[in-house]
Structure 1
């Protein structure tokens, strides 16, 4: 399988190295200049005595700049050259959506890289101070210019195998020690041996602060419709994932407003607990698309091997990405050139769950009592009780209320602040008939649960546990100037894991010949969503109220009013078991995987997952980590095969 990329190239910072640059022939996809070369389509590169420019632009940016500079509207890179000459590094204020830019100022030998705000286009690079800067949208494509890729980064492997306890900002660290990733929403500046990255994305949610609730709902609808329309503009055959959930269903229904024909793809794993057919069918009946029901590939090992080769690193999905490949296979078969996704509608729209904490911290007992009842009534909380859906509304309210208060009291007790614990417990007891006996039973339950779910030992080898790599550069600067009330949600929207998923889909699309677009990732929509108060997001307990109200009449009511997601726990366990059995003979005791992973502890966790006596919920944190071990092993095998 040949690596596929949209752009790659090299710039020689050192003029002496430039004189000895790699030989190449100028052609349709290779543009040579005195200090290097750029490989991409002709319209994405522009060389003048002052600049060498690479520009990959989305259609919205092409049209905006083309209207400003009509004499160069056929060449994206020339448009960016003119924009940079006019606005300098402030040009990002005029760009939205998808873009990836490299500008080499030839007389001053300065280099600038601008990556879009959501990381829609990957940008990887290797920089040798005072030497060269090579770059590409695929890590494998860097090998055209340097052999200096080899060498894994143990810190990245450690992070990959260690579940994060909170949202992590995007980092420039990759699995390869010498390869870095440009940060979304940042400008990278290189001069000589100096490298600087500075955040250019600043948000203004305050512009929506004084708007009424009805105005915000109408604005949300307008912005969401506009984002979907922009995503599909210029494409011929539009497809969209359709899982039956609120996000993908919203995308499909709105896309149908703009196209007579839309293809929808439902990946059915064939497991009863994950069956979304009822909700999918309600969308199909509503919009009458070309609908396809597909199934994950049968051979999980082969699917992951293909994905890993496309992605140049281990799989990043919690459940193996046979889902994405199954829909991509069908999309290619019918000639789709665009696939819409609902990623990451959850974070952008917001659930309003912080409302409960706010009411508790401010001791607003009346509103807290209402919110707890609404939450328990609307949500699927089978993680608390496997029989949750069989409980009466009163039983649900009591069960969740007790859980919520005991959880908060447990937090206080862990701080060893007994005075605060008893004061808070007394307040809750007076307001909500709190029982100390019940609380002690709850604490006992937590201890038992943590015993069942605790790792049987670190999955990391001792060497990796104590390894501490070089500091990375991350996107923390994005949050420094933001008002506190917006930070938590914005961290969720821009966290490392979600951008990893975007990059993974990008690489799949390169191989299959279609683009992926994510309409929830729209700058104005994000600003508006941040400004919407938690109480409004919370609604009547289901959460995501702004989207539900904005799409009333557009979405089927069965989907619009559903208060829970399908649980993929059972399917996740099945895929792990299948993949383990398929790789059991591959990952022998001598396999390089065990240089990074403690094999004894992994096998103990495997036994726990295979144990039918342990409840499914108590296996899931182990299952997710164990899956990543297998994904890592598949990738390590591919690296070895390439070297051979």
Structure 2
């Protein structure tokens, strides 16, 4: 569903789009309209669409979610809570003619993107589809590429690993920040945060059983809301991990008669094979289970999806995986697809307690934590014979690996004297030979200076590689507000660029496939509960997420509820990157593509050689995969802009 509109501050004549669809709510003559919607339509994540007219004409609204009285539209832009269970964390758009102000509100977790272009004293155009906004004739003369965004996009960990920003790939187009409302008048734009969080409301809980029961109650409520009362066919991604398995199990527990289609993505690659776990869950809950192969036409998929996003592909691995699930669900007739998106961040693991104990030099606590954690740690890639080791030997090997790793993580921030002090103390207190530290240091030095040339963090041309990019808003800190600093890590995990941009792409692809992706872990109460759970309770017996596991007792097979590890898609990611590289050669041989204005072509070729080389180091494979996929994604985007006559100037 697309919601969009234009407000003219000088009676401009305009056309919304070059060709609307029945799934578009458009602003026409001062109102939102759609051939498929009525004032009683219930829209997921949409709580207010309306207009307060000038003069004696009655205010109107499209849906009644925020109406205080039947038949009368009244919306308070200051968000005073109405006498209902309305979730203020949803999308809203309303226009007040009396003060010539448009209000746009975005849901707390950023599920629905909200793009806008404001030309002071002229007009404001907005849409939940960037593509639709770009194609509005009134907007075209104001399109300018945002060079800063292109630069940060092309830097390893330079774009999405940081905070989400209101900036887009177009200089004059912005997005509303999640959990915020903007008011747009003829002259300016005012931004206001409406979201606030209160983890202290769970301070009466103390035991893992109490937190587990609270989690279970909230999670059931959230899954119920995401399914709704619709008679539509429902699909659910079932990977075999805790998040997706729990969503599927709870959905069937709520409605045993629900014809739930569970979808497993079968990549057939080492480390990501969870087919047995997914099958066990499907059998226990009685779902209609499907094994879905991902598309191998990665270039075609990214090209098609770019035309749905309006910006370059932003995922770290090929979107053909999630896209294949959506396409399959759409073919089944599913209008809702449940996904465990960002469950890891919302729930939290508690395993960071190990890092905290090391950072605080609490050696007694650290030893106790290691004894619990060692038996569940996954060390197979470091120690091939790990599974056959005795318990005592696992503790010894895990201690050595953990302490040496944590030491090298911290020395970058230490002065020489403090570094030596930490080295000696770590060795003495944790009974780890100094030789292990020196051996690891020598290996790192060998790789860096002699054996392996590390790729740089970007393959941009020199003038862009060294360019300073303006500092962006820190959404996580804005939403955390006055909460203590101890909560910062949880807000950083949930409200970062990577996560929210993924949600935006899920929204665009849902529109593309005619279904709605829904994320049960995105529940404000559930998030507040999880950030209130003490770290030691989350850590539990050493697996982590203990409050979550407690909540799922009896609902999941024990092999899934207590599994200590999860799939790793590194091999699949490289395979997809290799396919994309080979499939895109014709496009990348086009020297007229704008991508070569930004990307150093020789560095791209060098990165591709490393990607192809099976003997390259894992770190170089990771960097080369990033560089190659980002360069190709940019080239695809520039090609799409050119073909649609949308290629603007740079700035």
Fold match by TM threshold 0.5? yes
Closer/same/farther in 2, CA of residues 352 and 292 from structure 1, 3 Å limit: same
Closer/same/farther in 2, CA of residues 133 and 611 from structure 1, 3 Å limit: same
Question: Higher mean Cα deviation, 130-139 or 164-173?
Answer: 164-173
- 1 or 2, which has the higher helix percentage? 1
Using the TM superposition, give the Cα deviation of residue 349 of structure 1 relative to its aligned residue in structure 2, in angstroms: 0.7
Q: Residues of 1 paired with 2:250 and 2:238: CA distance?
A: 12
User: Where in structure 2 are the equivalents of 1:63-212 lying within 5 Å?
Assistant: 65=66, 68-69=68-69, 71-72=70-71, 81-84=73-76, 88-91=78-81, 95-96=86-87, 99-142=90-133, 143-144=135-136, 145-148=138-141, 150-164=143-157, 167-212=161-206
Q: Residues of 1 paired with 2:613 and 2:443: CA distance?
A: 21
1:107-146 Cα offsets, whole Å, 9 max, x none, are: 2222321111011111100011122110001012122242
Using the TM superposition, give the Cα deviation of residue 26 of structure 1 relative to its aligned residue in structure 2, in angstroms: 13
Asked if the contact 1:96–1:523 (Cα under 8 Å) also holds between the matched residues in 2, the reply is: no
1:582-623 Cα offsets, whole Å, 9 max, x none, are: 111221151322222112112112111211222446522332
User: Where in structure 2 are the equivalents of 1:174-253 lying within 5 Å?
Assistant: 174-213=168-207, 214-235=209-230, 236-253=232-249
Q: Residues of 2 paired with 1:216 and 1:416: CA distance?
A: 38
Identify which of 590, 613, 628 aligns with 2:615. 613
Asked if the contact 2:336–2:518 (Cα under 8 Å) also holds between the matched residues in 1, the reply is: yes
Q: Residues of 1 paired with 2:474 and 2:309: CA distance?
A: 21
Q: Residues of 2 paired with 1:318 and 1:225: CA distance?
A: 31
Closer/same/farther in 2, CA of residues 481 and 625 from structure 1, 3 Å limit: farther
Question: Higher mean Cα deviation, 427-436 or 46-55?
Answer: 46-55
User: Where in structure 2 are the equivalents of 1:510-529 lying within 5 Å?
Assistant: 510-529=511-530
Q: Which consecutive residues of structure 1, in runs of 5 or more, have no partner in the other structure? A: 73-77
Using the TM superposition, give the Cα deviation of residue 268 of structure 1 relative to its aligned residue in structure 2, in angstroms: 0.6
2:310 corresponds in structure 1 to 312
Q: Residues of 2 paired with 1:23 and 1:6: CA distance?
A: 12
Asked if the contact 1:9–1:39 (Cα under 8 Å) also holds between the matched residues in 2, the reply is: no
Asked if the contact 1:570–1:616 (Cα under 8 Å) also holds between the matched residues in 2, the reply is: no
Asked if the contact 1:56–1:100 (Cα under 8 Å) also holds between the matched residues in 2, the reply is: no
Question: Higher mean Cα deviation, 362-371 or 565-574?
Answer: 362-371
1:361 corresponds in structure 2 to 359
Identify which of 414, 417, 435 aligns with 2:415. 417
Identify which of 283, 286, 298 aligns with 1:285. 283
Q: CA RMSD in A?
A: 2.9
Closer/same/farther in 2, CA of residues 584 and 19 from structure 1, 3 Å limit: closer
Residue 500 of structure 2: SS of its match in structure 1?
A: helix
Asked if the contact 2:163–2:473 (Cα under 8 Å) also holds between the matched residues in 1, the reply is: no
Q: Give the TM-score normalised by the residue count of structure 2.
A: 0.88
Q: Residues of 1 paired with 2:105 and 2:240: CA distance?
A: 36
Asked if the contact 1:242–1:248 (Cα under 8 Å) also holds between the matched residues in 2, the reply is: yes
2:556 corresponds in structure 1 to 555
Using the TM superposition, give the Cα deviation of residue 493 of structure 1 relative to its aligned residue in structure 2, in angstroms: 1.0
Asked if the contact 1:54–1:101 (Cα under 8 Å) also holds between the matched residues in 2, the reply is: no
1:405-452 Cα offsets, whole Å, 9 max, x none, are: 223333454345233233333333332223222211111123345564
2:345 corresponds in structure 1 to 347
Using the TM superposition, give the Cα deviation of residue 380 of structure 1 relative to its aligned residue in structure 2, in angstroms: 1.7
1:533-561 Cα offsets, whole Å, 9 max, x none, are: 11111122211111111101101111111
Residue 9 of structure 1: SS of its match in structure 2?
A: strand
Q: Residues of 1 paired with 2:151 and 2:113: CA distance?
A: 22
Residue 236 of structure 2: SS of its match in structure 1?
A: strand
Using the TM superposition, give the Cα deviation of residue 199 of structure 1 relative to its aligned residue in structure 2, in angstroms: 1.6
User: Where in structure 2 are the equivalents of 1:3-82 lying within 5 Å?
Assistant: 5-12=1-8, 14=9, 17-18=10-11, 20=13, 31-33=27-29, 36=30, 38-40=32-34, 41-43=37-39, 45-50=49-54, 62=65, 65=66, 68-69=68-69, 71-72=70-71, 81-82=73-74
The reply on whether 1:323 has 2:321 as its aligned counterpart is: yes
Using the TM superposition, give the Cα deviation of residue 98 of structure 1 relative to its aligned residue in structure 2, in angstroms: 5.9
Identify which of 298, 301, 309 aligns with 1:300. 298
Closer/same/farther in 2, CA of residues 193 and 381 from structure 1, 3 Å limit: farther
Q: Residues of 2 paired with 1:158 and 1:26: CA distance?
A: 34
Q: Give the TM-score normalised by the residue count of structure 1.
A: 0.89
Using the TM superposition, give the Cα deviation of residue 394 of structure 1 relative to its aligned residue in structure 2, in angstroms: 3.6
Q: Which consecutive residues of structure 2, in runs of 5 or more, have no partner in the other structure? A: 40-47, 647-651
Residue 120 of structure 1: SS of its match in structure 2?
A: coil
Q: Residues of 2 paired with 1:423 and 1:322: CA distance?
A: 49
